[in-house]
Each structure stands twice: as structure tokens, then as C-alpha cells.
């Protein structure tokens, strides 16, 4: 017989919410056990009772208003449902900045398991009809993080239950693949990739692992609650070099534009025009404009060039030269694309 695939706790909680929201009256425990995916895997009635009570308390702590319906008869007839009036979402009145933050969150979660859901949600929310002119509020903040792959879900579940895991890992320094036995603490994104931070049991020390170098599946390797996740895990200290060596971009920025760049950098003196030798119509037009000089640190040349090109004429690169050329290359490619479509 093949191994039974267990429903992850987060998926089981979502299944329970969907069932209790859509029931016409209420669902008894027996109905929940037999019809809600995840609870049928409880080996005994007692195990189901513990699982359901724990999930019910978790959902209530998260703000899901689960109510008990007692018809006044036998205890077995007691049911459960979600209070629709208390759970319903009120009318949305989002500012451009708030909608932008939601868009950024959706762009971050690129895993195929939820990409469709986030896309549908944003399509509905954008019925608020936010003006296109407001997009500069969050331009340049879009996270450029590769998909985490199949390891992300199991690792998040393991962190939530404090369960050790095992996985194959291809080390970059040796080129060898070996098994790792880890107590996972945190999962974080840095430098365009996803990383696990945890305590390596064989090495008896904290370590970080890039998810893209994990080989095969992540497997549970212990019981829930075997360890305690430290409350003071310094993610930045573990992953401070993930983005590569830092450089500084010197930019000429139009007043009150490119807020994301300004927030990360230092604003200096104002200049009229920018570097000599303008070669594009955009740069020639900008010569007469007063701009702020902003110095911004960055790690990855390609990511920084993508961001600056997204601002169009609002931002011009004064240096370094390689960044300036990378941005011009992207702008010229965009101009050629527009000409081809015309």
C-alpha cells in the first residue's frame, strides 16, 4: 500500500472555515469528521476530538467567529458554524498606497499553489478604480524573489509545530549533496532567493540554507514540540551577505517622485539637468529640469536597473557607469518594443 498523504494543518484549517461558512444551519462533529478533508485522517474519535478542539481555538484566536449551535436536544446534535454577520468583510475603500501594498504582497507569493488565488483577489479589489497616476507611490518596491518551490510549505508547517526536518542539500562551497537534520526557525527572502534559518543538529550550531539548493522533499524527522524556536532570531545577521557586495547609485530624481528610492537613500543637493553627453530624447528633455541628487545603496545590478527603468523619465542615473548603461539598455529595449507594435 502506498503512503497516505497527510493534509497540512494550514490546509485543514482552511477546509474547516470553508465548510462552516457554507453550511446552511450548522455542522455536527460527526459531519465535520466525515466531510471535511483532513479530519478523516484522525485514527480514533479521541484524536479527532483533540484535533478539532485545537483547530477551533486556533481559528477563534485568528478572529474567525465560530459559534456553537445547541438545538436543546442530545449532545450529539450540537453543531458549529461561522457567524456570517461578524465574519463578513465590509465595503473596501482603499487608498492608492494601500492597494499598492496588497499588490506587492501578491507579487511576492509567486508559488503556483497560491498565485491564482492572489491574482483573483487583486482583480476584485482593483474594482476600487485607483488612478494610474498613483502607481508611483509603490513603484520600485516590487519584490523580485524567485519561487520557493515545494520546500516552502513543509518548512512553514514544521516551524509552526516546532518539528525537526530532514532534507538533502547541495552545498555551494563543496559541490557535494548531503542530508541535513535541522530544527527550522525562520524562512526569509534575501537577494532574490529564499532561505531557511535553523539549528543544525549534526553541527550543533545555527545555519542558513538556500531553498533552491535543497534536493528532494523536506521530511519531518521528529515529534511536534521537540524544540523551542528562539524569540530573538536575527535574520539580517544570518543573511547579511545574501544580496552580494553593496554599491551606491547616484541618481537625479524629479521632486516628489520615486518615493521608494528616496526612502532607501540620502537626498543631497539639487541639480539642473544631469551628467553631460545625453544620448536619449528622455535625457535631453530632462536637461532643463531641477532634480534632487539621491544616493542609494544596492546589491544586485540587474535588480536596481530594473527598478530605475520602471520610473522612466523621473529618475536618471549619474553613476556608476555600469548601472547607467544597464538602465539605458532597458529603456532602449522598451522603445524598440513600442516601435515594433506601432
The DSSP code sequence of 96-134 is HHHHHHHHHHHHH---HHHHHHHHHHHHHHGGG---GGG
pLDDT over 70 (residue 218):
yes
What pLDDT score was predicted for residue 189?
76
| Average pLDDT score, the chain | 78
Highest-confidence segment of 171-175, 261-265, 320-324: 320-324
| Rounded Cα distance, 157 and 160, in Å | 5
Q: Which residue has the higher pLDDT, 74 or 7?
A: 7
Q: How many CB atoms lie within 10 A of CB 158?
A: 24
pLDDT over 90 (residue 182):
yes
Exposure class string for 1-18: b at 16+ Cβ within 10 A, else e: eeeeeebebeebbebbbe
What pLDDT score was predicted for residue 76?
62
What pLDDT score was predicted for residue 87?
77
What pLDDT score was predicted for residue 240?
63
What are the residue ranges spanned by the domains of the chain?
Answer: 9-87, 96-135, 149-238, 247-341
C-alpha cell at 7: 493534509
Confidence category of residue 306, pLDDT binned at 50, 70, 90: confident
pLDDT digits (tens, 9 = 90+) for 153-171: 899 889 989 999 999 998 8
Class at the top of the CATH hierarchy for domain 149-238: mainly beta
| Rounded Cα distance, 16 and 56, in Å | 9
CA distances from 260 to 141, 192, 253, 306, 312 (A): 6, 18, 11, 14, 14
| Rounded Cα distance, 238 and 186, in Å | 11
Share of the chain above pLDDT 70, in %: 70
Helix, strand, coil shares of the chain as percentages rounded to 5? 45, 25, 35
Exposure class string for 161-196: b at 16+ Cβ within 10 A, else e: ebbbbbbebeeeeeeeeeebbbbbbbbbbbbbbbbb
Q: Which residue has the higher pLDDT, 129 or 318?
A: 318
pLDDT over 80 (residue 274):
no
pLDDT over 60 (residue 272):
yes
Closest to 197 (Cα-Cα) out of 247, 241, 237: 237
Average the pLDDT over 115-132 and give the result. Answer: 50
Length of the chain as a residue count: 342
Share of the chain above pLDDT 90, in %: 27
| Rounded Cα distance, 217 and 157, in Å | 14
| Rounded Cα distance, 140 and 258, in Å | 8
Residue carrying the nine cell digits 471535511: 36
Q: Which residue has the higher pLDDT, 2 or 7?
A: 7
Measured at the alpha carbon of residue 99, what is the angle toward residues 96 and 105, in degrees to the nearest 5? 140
CA distances from 181 to 148, 155, 202, 208 (A): 20, 13, 7, 12
The answer to whether 262 and 224 are in contact (CB under 8 A) is no
CATH number among 1.20.120, 1.10.10, 3.40.50, 2.60.40, domain 9-87: 1.10.10
Q: Which residue has the higher pLDDT, 142 or 14?
A: 14
| Rounded Cα distance, 193 and 145, in Å | 6
| Rounded Cα distance, 153 and 149, in Å | 9
Amino acid at each position: 500500500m502506498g503512503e497516505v498523504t497527510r493534509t497540512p494543518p494550514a490546509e485543514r484549517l482552511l477546509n474547516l472555515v470553508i465548510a462552516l461558512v457554507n453550511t446552511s444551519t450548522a455542522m455536527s462533529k460527526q459531519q465535520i469528521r466525515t466531510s471535511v478533508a483532513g479530519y478523516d485522517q484522525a485514527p480514533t474519535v479521541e484524536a479527532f476530538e483533540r484535533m478539532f478542539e485545537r483547530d477551533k481555538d486556533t481559528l477563534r484566536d485568528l478572529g474567525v467567529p465560530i459559534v456553537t449551535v445547541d438545538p436543546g436536544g442530545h449532545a450529539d446534535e450540537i453543531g458549529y458554524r461561522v457567524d456570517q454577520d461578524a465574519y463578513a468583510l465590509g465595503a473596501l475603500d482603499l487608498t492608492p498606497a494601500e492597494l499598492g501594498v496588497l499588490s506587492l504582497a501578491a507579487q511576492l507569493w509567486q508559488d503556483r499553489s497560491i498565485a491564482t488565488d492572489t491574482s483573483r483577489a487583486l482583480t476584485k479589489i482593483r474594482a476600487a478604480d485607483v488612478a494610474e497616476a498613483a502607481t508611483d507611490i509603490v513603484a520600485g518596491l516590487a519584490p523580485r524573489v524567485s519561487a520557493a518551490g515545494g520546500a516552502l510549505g513543509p518548512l512553514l508547517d514544521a516551524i509552526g509545530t516546532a518539528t525537526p526536518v530532514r532534507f538533502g542539500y547541495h552545498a555551494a562551497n563543496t559541490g557535494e549533496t548531503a542530508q541535513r537534520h535541522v530544527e527550522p526557525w525562520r524562512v526569509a527572502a534575501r537577494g532574490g532567493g529564499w532561505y531557511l534559518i535553523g539549528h543544525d543538529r549534526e553541527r550543533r550550531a545555527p545555519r542558513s540554507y538556500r531553498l533552491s539548493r535543497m534536493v528532494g522533499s523536506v521530511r519531518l524527522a521528529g515529534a511536534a514540540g521537540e524544540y523551542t524556536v528562539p524569540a530573538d532570531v536575527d535574520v539580517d545577521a544570518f543573511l547579511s551577505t545574501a544580496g552580494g557586495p553593496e554599491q551606491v547609485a547616484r541618481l537625479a530624481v524629479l521632486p516628489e517622485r520615486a518615493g521608494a528610492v528616496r526612502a532607501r537613500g540620502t537626498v543631497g543637493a539639487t541639480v539642473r539637468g544631469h551628467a553631460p553627453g545625453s544620448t536619449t530624447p528622455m535625457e535631453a528633455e530632462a536637461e532643463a529640469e531641477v532634480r534632487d541628487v539621491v544616493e542609494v545603496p544596492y546589491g544586485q545590478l540587474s535588480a536596481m536597473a530594473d527598478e530605475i527603468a520602471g520610473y522612466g523619465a523621473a529618475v536618471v542615473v549619474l553613476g556608476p557607469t555600469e548601472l547607467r548603461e544597464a538602465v539605458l539598455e532597458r529603456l532602449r529595449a522598451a522603445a524598440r518594443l513600442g516601435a515594433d507594435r506601432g
